[in-house]
Amino acid sequence: MLDILPVRSLSGRERLGKAHGAKISPQMHYAIKKGLKSMFSGSIPALVTPFRGGQFDEGAFRRLVDWQIEHGSSALVPCGTTGEASTLSNAEHHRVIEVCIEQAAGRVPIIAGCGSNDTRNALLHMNFSKKAGAAAGLCVAPYYNRPSQRGLIAHFSFLSENSDLPIVLYNVPSRTVTDIEDETVVELVRKYPERIVAIKDASGDLSRVADHRMGIGRDFCQLSGNDELWLPHSAAGGKGAISVTANVAPALCAEFHEAIAANELKRARELNDKLFPLHYAMFSDASPAPVKYALSRVHDWVEPTVRLPLVECSDEAKRQVDEALEIAGLI
């Protein structure tokens, strides 16, 4: 039997940050000093960006933030892939981050999506997020440009040297084409140990968890970017997941992580089986259309609207989502 070491999550009080004058606890000071390793673990939803009438639905987003925190999410990620960051204007992008930090009010850390295929624009997002009170920036490998590994090192080096915001690397080669190779991750973390504090790996390659850990030579926060691999990723040493499914099933995902952290593998497998159809249903059509539809089935204050070039999910995808929601006991 695999022995998964428990991962201690900070309590709500310990997570208090600077947002709106919230007092920082000694534990938070320690976590920041040690590179935020203790802050990022558990179920971390990559939040959708609700739209209404073609515009950012701030009211629905505030309700979503509260609902996520109340149901056990340990951190929040606005403006990632699931948040449709690529079709937000810079003004919208920054407003979504600002609202998320404001509404969370220090209850959980915010990992702000700061990725761009333009290095200078990524830095703009990072500097804004730092001033707004984000705990870290999620920085995806530049997409479309297809930089070499040397280009990736130059990109992340520039960000590390020109912003004080800690970086969570985001590797998702199925979307970006460019893969942040193991050797590149190791080189960057060794070069900037106080700045590059974690990685969200959505490569689907579980061997990378051990490769990163062994190459870096110390504990390093690794988060799964694939919901369906959350359990084996944790067994290999991962600390949790930045999740699509957690948008619609925050309590189940939080309970799932707690079972893993407590080494209750039988319970973890039971919850994994309950969540598994939902993991696949979230990608039954172009994401995030299925998860937005799922949220609209669970809450009447979320619309399933996505921005072009994405369209609402197909009838077949809706059928799969509905079936998965029933299996998970969510409808």
Tell me the pLDDT tens digit for each residue of 98-155.
999 999 999 999 999 999 999 999 999 999 999 999 999 999 999 999 999 999 999 9
Q: How far is CA 272 from CA 159, 261, 327, in A?
A: 37, 14, 12
Q: Considering Cα of 194, then 225, then 292, then 42, what sign does the dihedral take? A: negative
Give the residue with greater pLDDT, 4 vs 61. Answer: 61
Q: Cis (ω within 30 of 0) for the bond into 193?
A: no
Per-residue pLDDT tens digits for 224-242: 999 999 999 999 999 999 9
Query: Which residues face 316 on adjacent strands?
Result: none
Parallel/antiparallel/unpaired status of strands 51-52 and 55-56: antiparallel
Asked whether the beta carbons of 196 and 189 are under 8 A apart, the reply is: yes
> Annotated catalytic sites, by residue?
170, 200
Give the residue with greater pLDDT, 221 vs 31. Answer: 221
Per-residue pLDDT tens digits for 238-282: 999 999 999 999 999 999 999 999 999 999 999 999 999 999 999
> CA 119 to CA 141: how far, in whole Å?
10
Average pLDDT of the residues in 309-325: 98
Q: How confident is the model at residue 218 (pLDDT cuts 50, 70, 90)?
A: confident
| Burial (CB count <10 Å: 0-12, 13-18, 19+), residue 4 | buried
Q: Which fold has domain 19-324?
A: TIM Barrel (3.20.20)
**Model pLDDT, residue 4:** 33
CA proximity to 263, closest of 231, 226, 219 = 231
> CA 130 to CA 135: how far, in whole Å?
8
CB atoms within 10 A of CB 164: 10
- The structure's pTM equals 0.89
Residue 14 has pLDDT above 50, yes or no: no
